[in-house]
Structure 1
Amino acid sequence: MRKGVVATGVEVLSRGYAPRVDDVCWLDAAERRTWLALLGTTAALDAVLDRQLQRDAGMPLAYYQLLAMLSEAPGRSLRMTELAEITQSSPSRISHAVKRLEARQWVLRRPCADDRRSTFAQLTDAGYAALAAAAPAHVRAVREHLFDALTAEQVAQLREILTAIAARIPD
């Protein structure tokens, strides 16, 4: 099988590649529709929330997420490696983003006293103010595009589903 084959096997079959049935449990029609719905929905939700934050707060969703994670941490500070883990980002991507947030004076880096190899990212008062200013419109957008479409029961089901999926994803 060649590199870049889609998870559903559709491309494999349409190009004449014969999958080894004993190696792959292909998605059935309902699973495929669900998978594609998940991909499309998460991409669309990320895009609409990113546009809202860019328009209303002048920051991308990724920066908002970093500021939010720092705001919830003790002392508004996290090791850069922890911040990367929490946000599912690479250390280099976090370093680049923190550098940009430092330029806005929203975050500062400081060395770790216990481990010279580690660096902390700390949310500044200006960063907290930027986050606080962005939060109301962002929460309205999250509510409008996600939670207003669901009943309270569906919200609970979605949380349970996402928790079950997350529990199966390796670190």
Structure 2
Amino acid sequence: MSDEQYAAIRARRSAYLTSHSHMNGFACCPAHASADDVPALLAEVDRLRAERDQARAELDAARSCDCFAATFHANTCQYAVITWNGTTYNTGHWLIDCEGVPWMPHSLANGMTGELLLLCNGDYSNDPSLISEVLGEWGPLTAGDPVDHSKILNTARES
């Protein structure tokens, strides 16, 4: 039911009540039975509309992601994070090793360690590396620029 239809029903109900006031309290025509049910129906419609509006607002809040692809979150997205060992990593920002090579936080390992996994150059053609391996082989990581997922290199790092 559109807002216009709903408003028209309410207006017709109001006009009906204005034109059919009964001082004695007795119904004068068969329309009263259905007219008497209208307030309960309108109250139910009001309740359902409020519930719908709340659900829409919650859905809009959940969709407040400004991501450009289903597989990636944009670097400003609230969902573009992985928390590991009490540290939150933004999956939309590069981590740069000592050689200047960018690593992208990818996920957590499914194994026993549940360790943070990183993709070298954001290259999905290679397996992600454990952060401990990256730190051990290429030294500490520093925060880098936002990841431009549309321009991620598809080249493997030469070891």
**Fold similarity call, TM over 0.5:** no
Larger relative strand fraction: 2
Larger relative helix fraction: 1
Q: Which has the larger radius of gyration?
A: 2
Output the TM-score relative to the length of structure 1.
Answer: 0.25
Which fold has the larger relative contact order, with Cα–Cα distance below 8 Å and residues 6 or more apart in sequence? 1
Output the TM-score relative to the length of structure 2.
Answer: 0.26
